[in-house]
């Protein structure tokens, strides 16, 4: 059975992630970008994340924290990681912006396969 508090928490995190995706600010104290793919510009990647609509409908726990798109014959995955403000550990509460710094990370599918 799905707990109302879990649904509320997921909805809060999803809302924070959607706001981050819609208007990312790489100089904001709560937002960070990590780019691992060299020849495509960061604004192009951010635009892909901003316009991403591939989330699974009806998934109450979906936090809109990951997705993928194709560029230059490569599949690129994006992730929003939840870290402490000092970027040293995972956040204990991604629903609390005071305790969480969102990090937008990109990786090529082949990079993920190599790491597996």
Q: What is the pLDDT of residue 3?
A: 72
Contact 55, 67 (CB under 8 A): yes
The whole model's pTM is what? Answer: 0.73
Work out the percent of the chain whose per-residue pLDDT is above 90: 28
Q: Which residue has the tokens 């204990």?
A: 92
Q: What is the pLDDT of residues 18-38, one digit of tens each?
A: 888 887 665 565 566 555 555
Contact 84, 96 (CB under 8 A): no
Q: What is the pLDDT of residue 1?
A: 44
Give the distance, in angstroms, between the CA of residue 51 and the centroid of all CA atoms in the same chain: 13
């Amino acid at each position: 059975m799905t707990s109302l508090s879990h649904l509320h928490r997921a909805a809060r995190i999803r809302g924070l992630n959607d706001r981050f995706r819609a208007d990312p600010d790489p100089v904001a104290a709560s937002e960070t970008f990590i780019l691992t793919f060299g020849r495509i510009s960061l604004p192009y990647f951010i635009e892909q994340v901003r316009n991403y609509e591939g989330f699974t409908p009806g998934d109450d726990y979906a936090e809109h924290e990951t997705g993928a798109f194709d560029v230059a014959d490569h599949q690129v995955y994006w992730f929003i990681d939840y870290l402490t403000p000092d970027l040293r550990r995972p956040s204990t509460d991604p629903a609390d912006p005071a305790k969480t710094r969102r990090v937008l990370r990109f990786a090529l599918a082949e990079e993920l396969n190599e790491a597996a």
